Structure 1
Amino acid sequence: MNIPGPEARADGGVGAVAAAGGLHTYQLRLHAEYGPVVRFQLPGADFAVSVADPVLLEATAHLGKRPERLFEFLAPLFETGNLQVMPAGEHAPWRRLLLSVLAGRPSHERHFARFTALATELADRWAGQCGGEPVELQKDLTALSLRMICEYALGGQVADPGVVVAAFEEVLTEHLGRLYQERDTRPPEEHTGRAQEALGHLRATVDRVVAAHRSGGRTDRSDLIGALVEAGEDPARIRDTVMVTMLAAHHTTGVAVSWALHLLGRHPDVAERVAGELDRVLGDHAAPGYTDLRRLTYLEMVLKESMRLYPPGPYGARETTEALALGGYEIPAGATIFYPIWAVHMNPAYWPQPHTFLPERFTPEAAAGRPKLAYIPFGLGPRSCEGAGLAMVEAELVLAVLLKRFRFRPAPGHEVLPIERFVLWAADGIRMTVSPRRPG
């Protein structure tokens, strides 16, 4: 049985994706028109199939190979090979090592106080804008998330973290610009040269931290570099691992928090319920302790519902290594299977009124009635995000600090339009006005 989908186009599908406003919205349209399994064209994928039904996704959950051509743009960031597409046999032990650190409570607790200080610094700065110019949520919160991951990955051993943040932004801007074929008005040698200089600075910075760990004999398993050193990893591989961790975590947390505040600003009743929970749990404290997060159950539901409506990563992809039966269709070996995360999260069969913001969807009772893969903001299977637990801790902490102090309202006349730019980004930012709130 042939897989449904649009007619082949001479441009390989580029025009259809562009006309839809990006791959994330194109996949929404494809599934609305053709159903839960769709074949479509995409440059870099000779046979591409998108699957938006969580039950059918179960048949793909074992896939551990990423399509190399779709991740080629990241290759220049690494000297030991593109870690995003490493072979499954090599990836499995590397993943176990990362999970032992990134998913562990000791690691989260160790860095929690510093994360809190960074979030509080941003809140203090925003306090000066109360009643004045709107704050730039997306810009400020992604900068905060990068500072957090620099603190986490480099252990606070960098003399000027601001320089590291600026260097990473320069590198990311260059490589994303290539991916999305964006025009740069600067001469090519200027922006390419600056990106290479910034990449060199990042590598040298990480190398110094790695060398300090090796000479000092540190073996703390809650420390990312320490755990990699103890595991006997090559210094260059350690550096590349730190770089990919920074890449993966850079935008994710800040973007998730930005969209959550955007939604709360448009649903003041939900925002008031969150504020009430914060007052009950935290009392007079301006920020939560690590153990307080478990008691902020409604805040967690709000964050999850925000990531359902605006998943930071709007899709993922795997490659079949052998033929696969999927919902009555035969998928050949070498096919690219797309996980259209946004379309999965908007599937009305599992999410009634999918466009409505309803945090109560994530009560334990409601969640128990859905297929496991109906909600996949961090992907699925053996290539899902190793830092999911850390990202949730960071996002809940930042939301708690900000919502304890402020009310957020949409900036008048400002339109927020989601676009796909490695993450689900807002085309013209997310600007909101902030005002102080009184506990209780």
Structure 2
Amino acid sequence: MGNVLPIPGPALRDDGGAGAITDAGGLHLHQLRLHAEYGGVVRFQLPGVGVAVSVADPLVLEQTAHIDERPASLFAFLEPLCEAGNLQVIGAEEHGPWRRVLLEVLAGRPSHKRHFGEFVSLVEGLAERWGGAGGDAVLLQKDLTALSLRMICAYALGGAGGGVVDAEKVVDAFEVVLSEDGGTTRASLALDYLRSTVDRVIAAREEGGRRADRSDLISALLAAGTSPARIRDTAMVTMLAAHHTTGVAVSWTLHLLGRHPEAAERVAAELDRVLGERSAPDYGDLRELTYLEMVLKESMRLYPPGPYGAREATEDMVLDGADGTYEIPAGTTIFYPFWAVHMNPDHWPEPARFVPERFTPEAVAQRSRFAYVPFGLGPRSCEGAGLAMVEAQLTLAVLLKRFRFRPVAGHEVTPVERFVLWAADDIPMVVTPRAVGD
């Protein structure tokens, strides 16, 4: 341990830091500037929190990975979805057992395989629609987030919601709840619709005698004796998180491949070699699509679907980083700018370049595992990470087996920070059919 240093950072401002973020063009750009100027650990003003400590140094990330508390104020926007306590900030004692139930179903390979055929049908349905676009541009984010919601409905609710879920209406309801004041009549009606939809699925599970069936999320929660309110909250938060993050991950990947045709051709060649004349992979084929997986991971490095995370220090901490040793008092908000972590030049040479080969087994072995954290870290990391990778790889495999993707001339794709890393004005692309070997 070296000499303890004060955490560096800019002078405090009367506006709580909002002006600095606006001047930089957004929180991500502000974080990049801060870490480029002050190093891997920075003190800064975060609106709604006060003074926080931002960490883009993987060495320090690792030392904080055990923390199981989140700052409640940063996740208060999810409270309208929760009746049994905000699931993102419930205490560690309650969070641990609940997380284990989620991991049992969301991280289980048997349940992934069980739902894989359903997922294939949903993706092929979108491919058929895109194939009839007649040369018109398709909107990646719009269509792929709707597809991802249908997939997570099938997984979380079972059998595409047992016929009681209208995916389009659920998407619209989520948007209303998150974008409007929870006190408005429209937001209240949207929230009532979401809850009643999940309630109908719960009732169908109980009537159908599937309480002991742990192959979908609601059935697993019922089997674990979870309260109806907690089941409802869990299903809603899971659908919200999964449909946005997976949809935008696939969108950004197709965007990058459209601008790197040599990588797109290599993916196509791999798909032709592994699948032959088949239009979609089997579950076991995903292990053979190694270059596709590298492309997806590099895309999530450059455009992490969830660009930020945060923890609250539960005790005084002394942390050793690349730039020095720092003290962090208990109660401090520790902010994780995943985008800045993924652009750290000490761990990612020429970080702005798209280089899928960064994720060969040899390259991964030479890096800190905390240099790449698209699904977060520690006991609050994403329970659905494995499922998201299966969904994303499958979707990309089906679409890239059938189509080439070309950017729309003159359209500038601009990342914006919402609940996920979104693209302003969507990502329009022109799709053209391709054949094996084409």
TM over 0.5: yes
From 372, 375, 378, the counterpart of 2:375: 378
Matched, 1:125 2:129: yes
User: Are residue 208 (structure 1) and residue 200 (structure 2) matched?
Assistant: yes
Q: Does residue 1:140 correspond to 2:137, yes or no?
A: no
Residues 134 and 431, structure 1, Cα contact 8 Å, conserved in 2: yes
SS at match of 2:431: strand
Residue 432 (structure 1) aligned to one of 424, 429, 432: 429
SS at match of 1:251: helix
Secondary structure in structure 2 of the residue aligned to 1:433: strand
1:395 aligns with 2:392: yes
* Displacement of 1:302: 0.4
Normalised by the length of structure 2, the TM-score is 0.95
- Alignment of 1:334 with 2:331, yes or no, is yes
Between the aligned partners of 2:18 and 2:104, the Cα distance in structure 1 is 40
Distance 1:23 1:157 in 2: 37
One-letter amino acid matched to 2:197: T
Q: For the residues of structure 2 that align with 1:420 and 1:135, how far apart are their CA atoms?
A: 22
**8 Å Cα contact 1:168-1:202 kept in structure 2:** no
The 2-side partners of 1:337 and 1:157 are apart by 38
Alpha-carbon distance change, 157 to 347 in structure 1, aligned in 2, over 3 angstroms: closer
1:50 aligns with 2:54: yes
The whole-number CA distance in structure 2 between the counterparts of 1:423 and 1:106 is 29
- CA positional deviation for 1:72: 0.9
1:157 to partner: Cα distance: 3.5
In the TM superposition, residue 177 of structure 1 has moved relative to its aligned partner by 5.0
* Residues 1:33 and 2:49 are matched in the alignment: no
Shift of 1:421: 0.6
Q: For 2:265, which of 248, 272, 297 is the aligned residue?
A: 272
Alpha-carbon contact 2:249-2:305 (below 8 Å) kept: yes
Structure 2 residue aligned with 1:241: 234
After superposition, give the CA deviation of every residue in 1:292-347 in whole Å (9 maximum; x if it has no partner). 10110110000000000100011100000111112311111110001110011001
Cα contact 1:63–1:382 (8 A) shared by 2: yes
Structure 2 unaligned residues grouped into runs of 5+: none
Give the conservation status (yes or no) of the 8 Å contact 1:153–1:246.
yes
* Counterpart for residue 84 of structure 2: 80
- Tell me the CA shift for residue 403 of structure 1: 0.1
Is 2:291 the counterpart of 1:287? no
Q: Residue 46 of structure 1 contacts residue 335 of structure 1 at CA under 8 Å; is this kept in 2?
A: no
Deviations, residues 382-427 of structure 1 (Å, cap 9, x unaligned): 0000000000000000000000000001100000011111111111
Q: Report the AA paired with residue 384 of structure 1.
A: S
Specify the code of the residue in structure 2 equivalent to 1:85: V
Q: Structure 1: how far apart are the matches of 2:174 and 2:131?
A: 31
1:344 aligns to what SS in structure 2? helix
> Counterpart amino acid of 2:64?
T
Asked if structure 1 preserves the Cα contact closer than 8 Å seen for 2:68 and 2:92, the reply is: yes
Within-5 A mapping of 1:190-269: 192-218=184-210, 219-269=212-262
TM-score (norm 1): 0.94
Q: Aligned to 1:407, what secondary structure does the other structure show?
A: strand
Secondary structure of 2:16's counterpart equals: coil
Number of residue-to-residue matches in the alignment: 427
Q: Structure 1, residues 177-203: CA drift from partner, whole Å, max 9, x if none? A: 55xxxxxxxxx98xx322211211111
Residue of structure 2 equivalent to 1:352: 349
Letter of the structure 2 residue corresponding to residue 334 of structure 1: G
1:299 to 292, 308, 311: 292
User: Of 391, 404, 409, which residue of structure 1 is paired with 2:406?
Assistant: 409
Q: Which amino acid aligns with 2:284?
A: T
Amino acid at match of 1:341: F
8 Å Cα contact 1:55-1:373 kept in structure 2: yes
Output the CA distance in 2 between the equivalents of 1:271 and 1:261.
9
Report the residue type matching 2:140 in the other structure.
Answer: L
Cα distance change, pair 243–282 in 1 and its aligned pair in 2 (3 A): same
Distance 1:436 1:355, change over 3 A: same
Report 1:64-75 matches (<5 A).
Answer: 64-75=68-79
> What do residues 239-278 of structure 1 show as CA deviations (whole Å, max 9, x unaligned)?
1110111111021111000000000001100000000000
State the secondary structure of the residue aligned to 2:88: helix
Q: CA deviation at 1:220?
A: 1.8
Amino acid at match of 1:215: E
What is the alpha-carbon distance in structure 2 between the residues aligned to residue 283 and residue 194 of structure 1? 50
Shift of 1:161: 3.3
Q: Which amino acid aligns with 1:359?
A: P
Would the aligned equivalents of 1:305 and 1:358 in 2 still touch at CA under 8 Å? yes
Structure 2 contact 173–194 (Cα < 8 Å) conserved: no
Letter in structure 2 aligned against 1:70: L
SS in 2 for 1:261: helix
Looking at structure 2, the residues matched to 309 and 247 of structure 1 have their Cα atoms a distance apart, in angstroms, of 22
- Quote the offset at 1:78 in angstroms: 1.0
Q: Tell me how far apart the structure 1 counterparts of residues 196 and 203 of structure 2 sit (CA, whole Å).
A: 10
What secondary structure does 1:38 align onto? strand
Matched, 1:171 2:174: yes
Letter in 2 for 1:48: A
Which amino acid is the alignment partner of residue 274 of structure 1? V
For residue 53 of structure 2, what is the amino acid of its counterpart? V
- Between the aligned partners of 1:177 and 1:200, the Cα distance in structure 2 is 14
Closer/same/farther in 2, CA of residues 284 and 134 from structure 1, 3 Å limit: same
Provide the rounded CA distance (Å) in 2 between the counterparts of 1:9 and 1:265: 42
CA distance in 2 between partners of 1:313 and 1:322 (Å): 26
Task: Identify unmatched segments of 5+ residues in structure 1.
Answer: 179-187
Alpha-carbon displacement from aligned partner over 1:67-109 (angstroms, at most 9, x marks no partner): 0011111111111111110000100011111001000011111
Counterpart amino acid of residue 147 in structure 1: R
Cα distance in structure 1, aligned partners of 2:131 and 2:79: 41
CA shift, 1:33, in A, is: 1.2
Displacement of 1:21: 2.3
